Amino acid sequence: MRKFLFALLALTLLPLAAHAADYRGKQVSIYIGYGFGGTYGAYARLFADHLPKHIPGEPTIIVQSMPGAGGIRLLNYAANAMPADGSHLFVPPDSVVISQLLQYEGAKYDARKFHYIGGSEQTNMVWVVRADTGVKTVADLKTKEIASGHSGPGSTAFMIPALAKELLGLKVKLIAGYEGSNKTILAIEQGELHASAFNWLAWEVAVPHWFDKAKPFAIPILQVGLAPDPAIPDVPMLSAMVPADDLPLVNFIATHGIIGRSLAAPPGTPDDNVKTLRTAFAAMLRDPAYREDANKRKLRVIATSSEALDAAVKSSIDNASPPVLAKARKVLYDK
């Protein structure tokens, strides 16, 4: 009788137990919302190379690019059309929360409904200007005009210069149409543009020689984040330049940093798949082989748990101040 009761109890509890999803023989796709060549692609390829061995069944992972509107095209696809079967993932743009809250035209997603798998990097946005423009500080842009490139109004490469332009009274032309950091950086190098704003790691990976202190090709003049990037502590923070009344607006934009370079799954992805992927991603970040390969590729590892990402996204959206949002829409999109 006792054995029967234990067996019955085990059968009763079985549906409540968490099962690991089996990916044997499957292919997983990781999407990025920009062109290849920047840090979105770099981290996606790093994930594709190391995540499979931590997933039951060791699936093949490929990386696909879906550029458009500063990452908004990918976010809309992830929210409304991406198959939610556990085999389709994406690297969310770091502006995912900001674009939603600012009600950017064309954004049709709710960032709170995505399943965040984990993050491998947190980062500040850094505005970099060619040295031959004569611009050495933000103050120089009150008299000298530059052209700063971006991929679309949903990108932080648009938001950071646009915000600084309006709050500090700078002379800046914002030029759209560049698919991510790689093509924008090439345009700067060829003289088509003078500047752009990407995370510091993107600059370090793509063009570290630009910042030779003896004879720099370009100069970082401004950074936006919750605290100075440890690699460039002397580059001024936008938060230190604006009046107290504008500080909540700058701090709101700075929330992009925790999203960094992370991984997410679309709404409706089965719980077993989400749990399996989160466990695998956390194990990958602890793996010495992953960290060693990241170091070889000059990619930083500043881990963020799925729980922390989920909490940060929900808190940012649920607690956003309506007056701050209204001011941000007015400053960035004149709405």
CATH of residue 151's domain is 3.40.190.10
Give residue 38's domain range: 25-122+257-331
Per the CB < 8 A criterion, the answer to whether 129 and 165 are in contact is no
Residue 284: CATH number of its domain: 3.40.190.150
pLDDT at 245 over 50: yes
Do 143 and 101 have their domain in common?
A: no
Sorting pLDDT into bands at 50, 70 and 90, what band is 5?
very low
Do 248 and 266 have their domain in common?
A: no
What is the residue-averaged pLDDT of the chain?
Answer: 91
Position 13 in a domain: no
* Mean pLDDT on 225-253: 91
pLDDT score for 296: 96
Do 311 and 251 have their domain in common?
A: no
Domain boundary among 255, 285, 303: 255
pLDDT score for 16: 36
Q: How many domains does the chain have?
A: 2
* Mean pLDDT on 122-134: 95
pLDDT at 265 over 80: yes
Separation of alpha carbons 55 and 22, rounded Å: 8
Do 242 and 264 have their domain in common?
A: no
- C-alpha Rg value of the chain to the nearest Å: 21
Position 86 in a domain: yes
Per the CB < 8 A criterion, the answer to whether 162 and 331 are in contact is yes
Sorting pLDDT into bands at 50, 70 and 90, what band is 59?
very high
CA atoms within 13 A on the CB side of 256: 28
Per the CB < 8 A criterion, the answer to whether 90 and 82 are in contact is yes
Separation of alpha carbons 181 and 111, rounded Å: 23
Dmax of the chain from CA atoms?
Answer: 89
Domain boundary among 255, 281, 316: 255
pLDDT score for 157: 93
Task: Give the pLDDT confidence of 147-199 residue by residue, as tens digits.
Answer: 999 998 888 899 999 999 999 999 999 999 998 888 999 999 999 999 999 99
Per the CB < 8 A criterion, the answer to whether 28 and 37 are in contact is no
Do 176 and 112 have their domain in common?
A: no
Per the CB < 8 A criterion, the answer to whether 159 and 183 are in contact is no
Side by side, which strands form the sheet with 88-90? Answer: 60-65, 27-32, 88-90, 262-265, 115-119
Task: Give the pLDDT confidence of 69-90 residue by residue, as tens digits.
Answer: 889 999 999 999 999 999 999 9
Q: Can you tell me which residue has the tokens 């504008």?
A: 246
Position 113 in a domain: yes
pLDDT score for 62: 98
Do 223 and 250 have their domain in common?
A: yes
Separation of alpha carbons 148 and 225, rounded Å: 19
Do 88 and 184 have their domain in common?
A: no
Per the CB < 8 A criterion, the answer to whether 167 and 330 are in contact is no
Do 129 and 251 have their domain in common?
A: yes
